[in-house]
Structure 1
């Protein structure tokens, strides 16, 4: 199956840019979610290119970590998407160097405890994971403090490399 040409409207991009970086990135992310049905699996992986997957990965990362930290990100099945792909390397390329280091630090914890982190759990067991994996706390705190700056760096990169993320019409 060949990759779809992802198109976004120039008008939507302009409107998004006026509203701010979040709205600007959302124009792309909404399109990727539409194309993939919001699911990342063997069938949907080929539908996006590496740049598009990186931006979608950041969307999932940000949503999950802001809501429930790395434990929630991993428990909701995004561990492999973030840590087994060149996400951290791409973030460095996008200009988010400190964020890239943060991802590599989180990956060390993930790789060391992967089987346990990905295990099916009851709600009670899930909540207990936050105490068990306090190693993530500092990284989550750092991300919360830097999230706006990181998102701005990514938005700037996307804006300067639009053709890599979608065809603008």
Structure 2
């Protein structure tokens, strides 16, 4: 029986784990994106993943966007609602990442207060100006960048310890 359609082969998981925590998590992310048919999300597709799977996928997008361009980029690229309107912070807290969860709640306050402005369509120049306008995100970005490796490692350990919540692992011939 498939768990929300997410089945990962044992050999793919072992290969990912051998390459490190990022590759281990990426095996799950790739499976989720395939089931979600790429990176586009709509209400029809949301049920294809369970809450834990959405939490891991949320972390993937959060990490990717914040490391590349900060919270302004995360929000401008349309991930604000996926991160802040879902129980992502609660899931991180349940994984034992209390300080990271507090950061998400704190940045949600900024997001909620300025949501319309942060999500509006804008020119490249207006987008760049948002970095100065929303300097309140700066300390949180610095904090995440300095702690990202530890956060990712703790998430990988949690996933490994609760693997059934994230996918069904199929036995294979050890390809």
Counterpart of 2:112? 111
Q: Over residues 15-66 of structure 1, what are the superposed CA-to-partner deviations in whole Å (9 max), with x where a residue is unaligned?
A: 1111100000000000001111222221210110000000000000000000
Matched, 1:48 2:41: no
TM-superposed deviation, 1:85? 0.5
Matched, 1:78 2:88: no
| CA distance in structure 1 between the partners assigned to 2:134 and 2:40 by the alignment | 27
Report if aligned partners of 2:4, 2:50 keep a CA contact under 8 Å in 1. Answer: no
Unaligned residue ranges in structure 1 (runs of 5+): none
Aligned residues: 167
Matches within 5 A, 1:129-140: 129-140=130-141
TM-superposed deviation, 1:97? 1.2
| CA distance in structure 2 between the partners assigned to 1:121 and 1:139 by the alignment | 23
Counterpart of 1:166? 167
Counterpart of 2:155? 154
TM-superposed deviation, 1:87? 0.4
For the residue of structure 2 that corresponds to 1:47, the secondary structure is coil
Unaligned residue ranges in structure 2 (runs of 5+): 171-175
Runs ≥4 residues deviating over 6 A? none
Q: Give me the CA root mean square deviation.
A: 0.9
Matches within 5 A, 1:96-107: 96-107=97-108
What's the TM-score, normalizing by structure 1? 0.97
What's the TM-score, normalizing by structure 2? 0.93
